[in-house]
Amino acid sequence: MYFLGVVHANVISMLVVMGWLYLAVPARVCNSYLLSQQNALGRMMIALAIVLAAFWSLRLFVVGTTNKPADR
């Protein structure tokens, strides 16, 4: 269960880093995108990271606790 939190944190951080990279670099990073498409993709990656962080945090704090006994 703890491993899933590490994966979620890694996904969010990588989305933010890649989004920032696409926004900060003045040249094209990928030949498949125009510069305007690259900027839009960077904004979308950062927005997706914010949405995922909010969703996973809300799910963790609101729905995360149940009344089931721990399996030991």
Quick: pLDDT tens for 58-70.
887 887 655 566 5
pLDDT of residue 9: 92
pLDDT of residue 71: 62
Residue-wise pLDDT for 22-50, tens only, equals: 999 989 888 888 999 999 999 999 999 99
Give the DSSP letter of residue 69.
P
* Residue 68 tokens, joined: 């089931």
16 burial type by CB count under 10 A (0-12 exposed, 13-18 middle, 19+ buried):
middle
